[in-house]
Structure 1
Amino acid sequence: MNDVTFPLRWRIALIAPALAVFIAFWLLPMGALAQISGDGHAFSTYRAMLTNPRYMSSLGATVVLSAAVTAATLVLSVIAGLLLARREFPLKRTLLALLTFPLAFPGVVVGFMVIMLAGRQGLIGALSLKLTGDRWVFAYSMSGLFLGYLYFSIPRVIVTVMASATKLDASLEEAARSLGASPWRITRDIVLPALSPGLIAASAICFATAMGAFGTAFTLATDIDVLPMTIYTEFTLNANMVTAAGLSIVLGIVTWAVLAFARSVSGSAVAASA
């Protein structure tokens, strides 16, 4: 009897801290948001939000931006991650440290760096003014936000790609190479399918992070209409708690749906590769 109950108590003791954090920082806030957004008229509140062109345009722009950032991040990170995982060259550790350094930066710092690069007094504007006579400024637009999100998304995916690449079975690639397969075909038919579970999970995290990122958008927010900024505007400037809470719920549902879909697809990918 004691042999059965003792491990169970330890399991409860080990799970309890994580469960407490989950309840305090997710379940209770989400319950409060749901209560505020309902305000006794949940159906009419959400119907008004989902039929409002401004809110839906903001949601659509956020989804498109997050998808574009995810796609560009995957392409760049797979190339860089495979190179770093499989090749040894001088200053490799320095390059890896530089590529992963953005993980330490908050969103506001990333936004400020984008301004220094593509703002009115930025490096790109100064170079374009000398070369073309026109000052190129795009930091305060969707292009600038795309650049900022790309900057802090690439390190997360590179780390995943490198970790997955070290577990690949080199004998499969050697066999394919001995049969005359080209490097591109080996990458397409062997490497990418083997990396797919990790890539799917990393892309879902990348998408979710871009959907909810606020600090960078807040720093660059001049002509940017993404959902986190819309929620901030409704909450602070318009004092519209009901709409802000409802939009937060919508943002959470979309992000959760993407993460759940990625989890199911990555599970299928693992089964298929096995």
Structure 2
Amino acid sequence: MKSDRAWLLGLMLPCAAVFLVFFVIPLTRLLLIGGSGELGWAAYSAAFTEPRYLRSMFSTVVLSALVTLTTLVISAIAGVFLARHEFVGRQVLTAMLTLPLAFPGVVIGFMVIMLGGRQGLIPLVTELLVGERLVFAYSMVGLFVGYIYFSIPRTILTVMAAAEKLDPQLVEAARSLGASHWRILRDVLIPGLQPALLAAGAICFATSMGAFGTAFTLATRIDVLPMIIYTEFTLQANIAMAAALSFVLGLLTWAALAFARTLTGNSVAAAA
């Protein structure tokens, strides 16, 4: 028994050391720095009461929620189709849909600018059609498009893995009983994919909340929380407030993952 306990302790020590060095110490340090500025510990309440911070937090949450919902709809349709149908070029199409996984946020930001920037494709087309350029890259719409672009590949892979494990006999049984396509979708496919959709949605939401590279590439004045933190840290030299906002942002993303974990058990990855 003692040898088993010693062996178990030996296995736990590396995990405990990693958790202490990479999580406990940095987060504790971040928490203390957040309360060390002119506002003191009131900096944390200022994140929810100061209009500028509250507005950026609201914008970030709404944007992340819209990105998550849109991504889940698109990825669920595409993922189920790819998982349940064999056709020529399926592997190529899957590879193309997951290609953005290799792109950093800065590259995606430049791609959005090429699409909807002042000299982008869509403004040039709209100028030819209606005589006015439709520029959206340097706004929340451009950020929405960029976030969708890098969120879909992760979600499609998760949905495809879950769809491949669904028993096709359940769908066939529902069809034999006269169920319509919408009834099959509502009563068979969505319940079967629900854990995967919740897990992928939570990770998509958390990633969108903290994404910085794409927002920084598009515009430094986009009102999302990562950009506010960057501004406080670099331009305002308000390190304490930047730390407080960073800690609050971390709590919000952790809460989203924790909520999804309670709905799906332990299928949500702890590290988004």
TM-score (norm 2): 0.92
What are the within-5 Å matches in structure 2 for residues 1-274 of structure 1?
1=1, 4-5=4-5, 7-8=7-8, 11-12=11-12, 16=14, 18-39=15-36, 42-267=40-265
Following TM superposition, by how much is the alpha carbon of 1:252 offset from its aligned partner in structure 2, in angstroms? 0.8
Cα deviation code 1:61-82 (max 9, x no counterpart): 0000000000000000000000
For 1:98 and 1:132, how far apart are their aligned partners in 2? Answer: 32
- The residue identity in structure 1 corresponding to 2:131 is G
Distance in 2, matches of 1:6 and 1:249, equals: 36
Rounded to whole Å, the distance in 1 between the matches of 2:195 and 2:40 is 38
Deviations 1:145-176 (A, max 9, x none): 00000000000110000000011112211111
CA deviations 1:29-82 (Å, max 9, x no partner) are: 211110111118644222333211000000000000000000000000000000
The verdict on how the C-alpha distance between 1:231 and 1:193 changes in structure 2, with shifts beyond 3 A counting, is: same
Please tell me whether the aligned partners of residues 141 and 222 of structure 1 are also in contact (alpha carbons under 8 angstroms): no
**Structure 1 residue 6: deviation in Å?**
6.5
Structure 1: 5+ residue stretches without partners: 270-274
Which letter does structure 2 place at the counterpart of 1:121?
Q
Determine if contact 1:140/1:222 at 8 Å carries over to the other structure.
Answer: no
Residue range with higher mean Cα deviation, 39-48 or 145-154: 39-48
After TM superposition, the score normalised by the length of structure 1 is 0.92
Q: SS of the residue aligned with 1:239?
A: coil
Superposed displacement of residue 23, structure 1: 3.0
1:2 CA displacement: 6.8
SS of the residue 1:166 aligns to: helix
Q: Does the 8 Å contact 2:34/2:41 carry over to 1?
A: no
C-alpha contact (below 8 Å) 1:176/1:186 kept by paired residues? yes
Q: Distance in 2 between matches of 1:208 and 1:251?
A: 9
Distance 1:105 1:81, change over 3 A: same
- When residues 135 and 111 of structure 1 are mapped into structure 2, their CA distance, relative to the original with a 3 A threshold, is same
Task: Tell me how far apart the structure 2 counterparts of residues 223 and 12 of structure 1 sit (CA, whole Å).
Answer: 46
Q: By how many angstroms is 1:266 displaced? A: 1.1
- Tell me the equivalent position of 1:272: none
Unmatched segments (≥5 aa) in structure 2: 268-272
Q: Which residue of 1 aligns with 2:270?
A: none
Provide the aligned C-alpha RMSD in A.
1.9
Q: Return the letter of the residue paired with 1:113.
A: M
Number of aligned positions between the proteins: 266
User: Aligned partners of 1:185 and 1:223: how far apart in 2?
Assistant: 46
Q: Secondary structure at the match of 1:135?
A: coil
CA distance in 2, matches of 1:55, 1:64: 14
Q: For 1:214 and 1:250, how far apart are their aligned partners in 2?
A: 16
Distance 2:23 2:219 in 1: 27
Residue identity over aligned pairs, in percent, reads 61
